[in-house]
Chain A
Amino acid sequence: MEPKTLFDKVWDAHVVEKIDGGPSVLYIDKHLIHEVTSPQAFAGLEARGLKVFRPEKTVATPDHNIPTVNQHLKIEDDLSRNQIETLTANCKKNDITLYGLNHPKNGIVHVVGPELGHTQPGMTMVCGDSHTSTHGAFGAVAFGIGTSEVEMVLATQCILQPKPKKMRITIDGELQKGVTAKDLTLYVIAQLGTGGATGYFVEYAGSAVRNLTMEGRMTVCNMSIEMGARGGMIAPDETTFEYVKGREFAPKGEDWDKAVAKWKELKSDEGAVFDKEYTYKAEDIEPMLTYGTNPGMGTGISGNIPTADEVEASELPTFKKSLEYMGFGLGDKLLGKKVDYVFVGSCTNGRIEDLRMLASLVKGKKKADSVIAWIVPGSKQVEKQAQEEGLVEVLEEAGFELRQPGCSACLAMNDDKIPAGKYSVSTSNRNFEGRQGPGSRTLLASPLTAAAAAVTGVITDPRELF
């Protein structure tokens, strides 16, 4: 039999039908929805007089547009409240499980899915959100879709999708102390550029990836879209099984043994062919930081912003426009630049390990007075765990406060907006113009680098603070 890639194995097992010269009808095992990209899909369904085809395969949680303070009070903004109430009404009407606001399992959709065991190896998963790639960390084919596609899944549990090409990114070696999964992914994106993996589905491999925890793997797969890839995935192994085992929706007893036996086959066969391959060394990666207005504009923290000579001539006008927005100059050094805000949270870095990293660095130190820090757990469960582990106490002693879960300042749909012109070191995934609020200036980094900025008030190499 011809050797197959991990991606092919999962994709091919879900093809209902392939249209000649066109897309495939792909069956979806798990559909996640939230309040922003689903209302028009439900309205479309209603206009056609249809019911949700397989309501038990869809799970809902509001996250993008919820407040991160006083969640028990009525949401003041009419439009936001309406969006969240619409999600509630749509779920109720269609028998869809909803982890609503204030529900003990509410949280960011890509944090909730894995922590409840909805996310499992070998699944196809979609959500009207590009960071659905997160779930690929479990060896699932998971990708973001538009609202018309959400409607397709609600109506038929299927989606029409052209099969992407395959890319493998191998990172061998050992990450240095102070270098995290976030740095690994920002490094890869800086190498490939923001469109470098467009048209591809990525498999991450190599010893550095294998040695990551599940949460680290989720951070890496989460950011796949930032180099244009539809999704990223990692072959499941003991680390994966250990994480999934015992979670609410994970298979139990005999079913568990059967599932693991099946999941163990989910890896790329020896000799499987990828359309493109890249290989990097973990030792070459230092804490990373972005300086521009797309996630590909990143460098090691000790590095400089490229000079005009180092940028391709055709790209220089866009590059300069980006630096102008950021208030930076060609060739500038990043260390020592002033920081106004620090945001720790999002589907990229809002999990318990991220809060542990933050706490480990700020313990016994104080937040700089000049910095406003927003620490936003990815879910109610993460919030609870942070309290139980004493992390909240450590953070409070250092002058930090925990807000309530949600997407928050990652996309600034709610009131968590960085003011115009202010610099934010953020553990989120996008540094686009205005992403964290009109005129905001975002520098993407790991929780450790964010913590270092929060206690010093300037861009600081976290390795100097251990």
Chain B
Amino acid sequence: MPIDKFTVLESTYVPLPIENVDTDQIIPARFLKATSREGFGENLFRDWRFNPDGSANEDFVLNDSKYSGQILVAGKNFGSGSSREHAAWAVHDYGFKVVVSSFFADIFRNNALNNGVLPVVVSPEFLSKVFAAVEADNGQKLVVDLEEQSISLNGEKEEFEINPYKKNCLLNGFDDIDYLLNKKENIEEFEQE
């Protein structure tokens, strides 16, 4: 599936200052019964977002009209647990294009990148400032520049890392399968060895 191109994003953001947000919170297992990739956004953070009776939990940040935007900012170790790509699909389907945290679990990070969602790792200090800034001003924005590998908050800039291959994929909207399909001959040669 070709992914969306990503260059620069300037957006307000949604703060989720909780650590170790695991993939069972992002999308609980009972919502993994679908056979397509679409529609998982409506169950993103299902059990935090909705009460057991199905009504919206007004205390949860996604139900708080003060916050919106295409960037999700979360506490450290975001996406730990299961390899379910449904977690990345849910984040993407809800409308987030970037997730910012001081630490990501490996598989979630790969899954996000494979779906055109950019995981941005920032220092714990920068993360604290980002959380504080949106508390002070709900309309606060972040600017994420992939070409430059930077994230800025009110002009304060921090650089983030991404491997050059994945960066190129996101900038151009390429996916890994296209790359691998072009390598079929090399793969067949490898099999002969």
Contacts and interface: CB of A to CB of B under 8 A. Distances in A.
Contacts of A147: 37, 85-86, 111
A145 B107 contact: yes
Interface in B76-121: 76-77, 80-86, 88, 103-107, 110-111, 114-115
A144 B82 CA distance: 8
B165 A21 contact: yes
B80 A294 contact: yes
B47 interface: yes
Interface string A89-127: 000000000000000000000000000000000000000
A148 B176 contact: yes
Contacts of B180: 25, 152, 155-156, 158-160
Contacts of A132: 83
Interface in A37-92: 37, 39-40, 43-44, 47-48, 50, 64-65, 77, 79-80, 82-83, 86
A303 interface: no
Contacts of A86: 35
Contacts of B163: 21-23, 162
A27 B187 contact: yes
B179 A83 contact: no
B155 interface: no
Given A21-B165, A432-B22, A148 B80 contact: no
Contact of A321 (B18, B24, B86, B110): B18
A146 B164 contact: no
A307 interface: no
A67 to B, nearest CB: 13
Contacts of A130: 81-83, 107
Contacts of A198: 77, 80, 103-106
A298 interface: no
A173 to B, nearest CB: 30
Nearest to A82: B35
A435 B84 CA distance: 14
Nearest to B78: A195
Interface string B164-191: 1110000000011101110110110011
Contacts of A19: 165
A36 B32 contact: yes
Contacts of B132: none
A130 to B, nearest CB: 4
Nearest to A321: B18
Given A22-B163, A198-B103, A228-B105, A432 B81 contact: yes
Contact of A195 (B105, B111, B190): B105
Interface string B133-165: 000000000000000000000000000000111
Contacts of A47: 1
B137 to A, nearest CB: 22
A151 interface: yes
A465 interface: no
A135 interface: no
Secondary structure of the A contact surface, majority rule: loop
B181 A156 contact: yes
Interface residue range, chain A: 35 or more
Chain A CB count within 10 A is highest, among B25, B106, B115, B181, for B106
Interface string B30-73: 10111111000000000100001000000000000000000000
A166 interface: no
B83 A37 contact: yes
A458 B81 CA distance: 28
B189 to A, nearest CB: 8
A37 B111 CA distance: 12
Contacts of A80: 33
Interface string A259-275: 00000000000000000
Given A83-B33, A144-B83, A157 B88 contact: no
B75 interface: yes
A285 to B, nearest CB: 24
B20 A294 contact: yes
Nearest to B24: A432
Contacts of B33: 36, 65, 77, 79-80, 82-83, 413
B114 A148 contact: yes
Interface in A143-185: 144-149, 151-152, 155-160, 162, 164
A158 B20 contact: no
A17 interface: yes
Contacts of A148: 1, 85, 111, 114-115, 175-177
A155 to B, nearest CB: 6
Interface in B1-27: 1, 18-20, 22, 24-25
Closest 8 pairs (CB-CB, A-B)? A22-B165, A146-B85, A39-B35, A144-B83, A79-B33, A146-B111, A148-B114, A195-B77
Given A16-B187, A148-B176, A149-B176, 13 more contacts: A21-B164, A22-B164, A23-B165, A47-B1, A132-B83, A156-B184, A157-B191, A158-B180, A194-B80, A198-B77, A198-B80, A318-B75, A438-B47
